[in-house]
Chains A and B, each alone.
Chain A
C-alpha cells in the first residue's frame, strides 16, 4: 500500500488532535492519501476518550499547575498520559482495511508488534486495542471510522512515570492510588524497561517506521502535511480541541 510518511514532531495536544482529524478530512475529500504519522506532545498532555467525562477522569487543577495539556479525543477508550512516548496515527480509506473493527486493529497493531521486534522485544496484539509484551501493556490504541475513513492512533511507551500519571488521573483515595501504582507496574511496561536502556524519539521513529513497512507492506513517500492540512488543523485546534465546549462536552 502506498503511504505518506510524516514525522510532525512535538506539538500541543490541540494541534496533534487537530492534525489527525485534518488529515482524515483531506483523505475523505480525495485531497490526501493514506498517511502514517509519528508525533510527540509538547507540553505533556492527558487525552481522554470521546465517551469520558473530563472531571471524572482528570485532575484539571493539577494539570494546569504542572502545565499539562488536557484534550478530548474523537476516539473512544480511556484516559492517557502522554509524556515519554512515540505516538502514531494511521489514516486511510475504509476500503483499504477490513470492515471488521477487530481485524483492522489487528492489522495496524501488527505494525507496532513489528516495530517492537526491531528492538528484539517479543510483543503481541491483545484484543481489542492493546499491544503487550510478557503480559504487560506497552501500547494502547484507539480507532474511529468516519467520512469513509479509518483513523487509528496510539502510544508507543518509551518510558513511563506511573507516579505522575496517577497524580494527574483521578483516583478516589491515596490507598487505592498506591495499590493502583503497584498493580499498574505489574500490568504496564515500556520499551526502556523491556530492553534495559533508554530509547530516544528518533531511534524509536526509525524502528517503528521499519516495523510498519514490513508488517503492512507500506511503500513510503516521506512528506509533511500540506498547507491546507495545516491550516485546517490549526482551525480545529482553535475552534474545537482547545474549546471548553468540546473538552467538557460530556
Chain B
C-alpha cells in the first residue's frame, strides 16, 4: 500500500512523506519538502533506516538518525507523526 501525507505546521516548512507499507511494516519511505537539514545527506540515511521497519520502531529509528542533525522548518516529532500517519 502506498500513501502520501503532507504536513506544514504553523511557522514551519512543508514536509511531504511517501510511504510504501505492508501491514505494520514499512517497505520504503521518501521524505521531501522545503525544510533544511544539516548535513543534507542525512535524509538518505534516515530513509534507509526506515526501510523494512516495523511501525512500532519508527520513532526510535528517527530519533537515532536525527540525533546531532540540525533541522530547520521540521522536527523529529513531525517526521515521526507524518510517517505513522502515512502508514495507517
Contact = CB atoms under 8 A, between A and B. Distances in A.
Interface of A: 49-53, 56, 74-79, 101-102, 128-129, 142-146, 250
Majority SS at the chain B contact face: strand
Contacts of B13: 78
Between B30, B38, B70, B72, the greatest number of chain A beta carbons within 10 A of the residue's beta carbon is seen for B72
Contact of B40 (A50, A78, A101): A50
Nearest to B72: A128
Contacts of B37: 51, 76
Query: Residue among A76, A77, A143, A145 with the most chain B CB within 10 A?
Result: A76
A143 B70 CA distance: 12
A76 B15 CA distance: 12
Given A51-B33, A128-B36, A146-B40, 20 more contacts: A50-B43, A51-B37, A51-B40, A51-B43, A56-B32, A74-B40, A76-B35, A76-B40, A76-B72, A77-B34, A77-B36, A78-B14, A128-B73, A142-B36, A143-B36, A144-B38, A144-B40, A145-B39, A250-B30, A250-B32
Given A101-B70, A101-B72, A52 B38 contact: no
Task: Kindly state the interface size class of chain B when it binds its partner.
Answer: 10 to 19
A212 B68 CA distance: 32
B31 interface: yes
Q: Is the interface of A mostly helix, strand, loop or mixed?
A: loop
Interface of B: 13-14, 16, 30-40, 43, 70, 72-73
B77 to A, nearest CB: 18
B38 A51 contact: no
A52 B34 contact: yes
B69 to A, nearest CB: 11
Given A51-B33, A128-B72, A128-B73, A101 B38 contact: yes
29 contacts: A50-B40, A50-B43, A51-B31, A51-B33, A51-B43, A52-B33, A52-B34, A53-B32, A56-B32, A75-B36, A75-B40, A76-B34, A76-B36, A76-B37, A76-B40, A76-B72, A78-B14, A101-B72, A102-B72, A128-B36, A128-B72, A128-B73, A129-B72, A143-B36, A144-B40, A145-B39, A146-B39, A146-B40, A250-B30
